[in-house]
Amino acid sequence: MTSRSPTDGTAGQPASLEQLVRWRRDVRRFKPDPVADDLIERLLRLADLAPSVGNSQPWRILNVKDGAARLAVARQFERERSRTVSGYEGDQATLYNKLKLAGFDAAPVHLAIFCDHDSAQGHGLGQQTMPETLDHSCACMVTVLWLAAREAGLGLGWVSIVEPAAIAETLGVSKSWKLIGYILLGWPEEEHLDPELERYGWQPRTPFEGRYRELGKVEDTSAPSKDAPRSQSGGSVTLVGAGPGDPELLTLKALRALQTADVVLYDNLVARPILDYVRLGAKLIDVGKRGYRKSCKQPDIDRQLVSFAREGLKVVRLKSGDPLIFGRAGEEIAACRAAGVPLSVVPGVTSAQGAAANLKVALTNRDHARRLQFITAHDRHGTLPADIDWSAVADPAATTVVYMPKRTLAELTDIATAHGLDPKTPAIAVANATRADEQAIISTVGMVAAELGSAHPEGPVLVMIGEALRHATPLDVVEQTAALFSTVGAAPVES
């Protein structure tokens, strides 16, 4: 996840307190890159300014650089983790074993935070009635450190699955020092606005209203029951179509949504220049689904949309093309509705429209194509869908636009011709439609798969098929194709 904020040097304005609080998440996945000692000292000196009961400053910070001591703490954590799992059963125990609950393996900085209960600082002010406020003061210090680290781009993990006395003994500290937490600091390998425990299904956040009460307030009996789904005031989700790539194809409504968003979850296919239109300070989260590679799962995306909206954030789900065409928008709409999250949809220029317009190719023709149909060339398993209506694809009076056909185009054209589609029917493959690196291949149904394979373009591809293309006289396509094939050493196929 990236952020258009000072945490990664992309903006000149300081992060707001609200942004720092929202970005503060327990980090368990760190890069092994070192953190400069002077940066750690600056953050610790800032944290040392934290408030404390009676100005007691009871925290004691031990920077654990010794490798043997770090290993001993990590082993103690694993023992406690193994013991803790016995308290869970069934699916919860299985999930607990899968959770990553610490980052000992990569975090470059280890800090043990203790509370000194024998300190004379503060003369005991405020501690006679509530001695636990010494521990609370140390927690305040850690929170300040957490926010300071976040502002510097660092991640912090607060490890609590350890036995305090055992850690104190391992590190050889005074018997009056009580462990508050073992802190891991480093550059985060990945960043998220939602807690990892929520992201992996351990426990979702609940609405603020469930933790707030007013003494003496008369209850409103007309209010919805506590079991009724609702979102926190102000939170919402907007599905936005980014168009095929040219930022100038964004609608005014899409631009307004991007410039008022608190967080934007964007697909891998969204052109990067479009992200420049997102409001400075908004959080950018890459949730792209990358074909045949590790990528974000749809249920995880659904949970993040709902979670952010419940926190009162304006959430934009940014999708390439139009969100309602092969974008799995239906699942996200259903998730928001089930959670009671306000939802709106901003349509976008779909890739077929952008490709045809840029190449000046008409997709319909009153004499040759009275129907336009969009199909996808792969199913949820990455294979050619089994339920394609091949008679419709073979219909000479239709123009067919095939989305996501890179791996299955040869199979698709073979089956289509077997069902009666003339192999000499015009076909145009377009990669990166409307973008600066757009590539077009003008061909026929019988040859387009082989020619696309030879060109091997990067980025999203679609294929347009139909007699309407023959009568469009796509001069621009011919010129672009000639330029493309001059670089790959092949000649364009005349249609």
Active-site residue numbers? 267, 289, 404
Backbone angles phi, psi at 125, to 5 degrees: -60, 125
> Is residue 166 classed exposed, middle or buried when 0-12, 13-18 and 19+ CB atoms within 10 A define those classes?
middle
Task: Let me know: does 28 contact 158? Beta carbons within 8 Å.
Answer: no
Burial 211-229 (b: 16+ CB within 10 A, else e): eeeeeeeeeeeeeeeeeee
| Extended beta strands in 108-161, E state | 109-116, 155-159
- Report CA torsion sign: 380, 381, 384, 385: negative
Q: Kindly state the tokens that stand for 278.
A: 């997102």
Would you state the structure tokens that stand for residue 108, as one six-digit string?
Answer: 């470059």
Return d(Cα 258, Cα 264) in angstroms, integer.
8
**Of 215, 191, 477, 230, residue with least CA distance to 358:** 477
Instruction: Cite the beta strand spans of 29-108 per DSSP E.
Output: 59-63
Tokens of 379: 């199913």
101 and 162 Cβ atoms separated by less than 8 Å = no
User: Is residue 242 packed enough to be buried (19+ CB in 10 Å), middle (13-18) or exposed (0-12)?
Assistant: buried
What are the E-state strand segments in 327-415? 343-346, 371-376, 398-403
Contacts of 295 (CB under 8 A, 6+ apart): 268, 288, 289
As a whole number of angstroms, the distance between CA 426 and CA 440 comes to 13
Closest CA to 203 of 88, 105, 107: 88
Q: How far apart are CA 446 and CA 17, in angstroms?
A: 60
Give pairs for 485-488: CB < 8 Å, separation 24+: 485/455, 488/454, 488/455
Q: Find, among 159, 207, 449, 158, the residue nearest to 307 by Cα.
A: 207
- How big is the chain, counted in residues? 495
For the beta carbon of residue 91, count every other beta carbon within 10 angstroms. Answer: 9
Cβ atoms of 64 and 108 closer than 8 Å: no
CA distance 183 to 159: 6
